[in-house]
Amino acid sequence: MERILVTGGVRCGKSRWAEQTMLELGTSVTYVTPGYPAEPDVDPEWAARVAAHRLARPASWATVETVDVAAAVRAEPGPVLVDCVGTWLTRQLDAVGWDTPRPVVTSELERRIADLALAVAEHPGPIVLVTNEVGWGVVSEHASGRLFADLLGRANQALGAVCDDVVLLVAGRALHL
């Protein structure tokens, strides 16, 4: 195993599949998560999900919470699991500004996507990236939803191009593309 992009819909088993794949290595893993901090007093349901996720990981795995996923990938020579690219993209859009003119935000995000893809391509150890598939249904009536779908599609294509395998999860079943 070298570089794998795991994609699929919401709650299809992507994270579980990625974690199981890394467990099979029998070694410690750096788990990179770009999600927002879990604040039980703000969102108890989200905090419970994050806590359950952490408890399911082996104690030998290190967790790195960061917005700069490319730097985290570059900093770790061993196995890395990134969960999830969609969350990373959301945080990048938050930083650039959802209301920034589309050509500007698109240009900046494409630069950041290219940097992440390069970090993945150059990573010397095994790496698994979890992402989402969006846009398999109705096109969003909101500009922000369309922007997110467009950029995540570009990110998935860029990452898929540098990965050795792309795995689509559907109902907990893995399809190697």
Active site members? 53
Specify whether the CB–CB gap between 120 and 73 falls below 8 A.
Answer: yes
Tokens matching residue 63:
């967790």
CB atoms within 10 A of CB 105: 18
In the chain the first and final C-alpha atoms are separated, in Å, by 15
Tokens matching residue 35:
């999600």
How far, in Å, CA of 159 to CA of 85, rounded?
10
In one-letter notation, the amino acid at residue 111 is: R
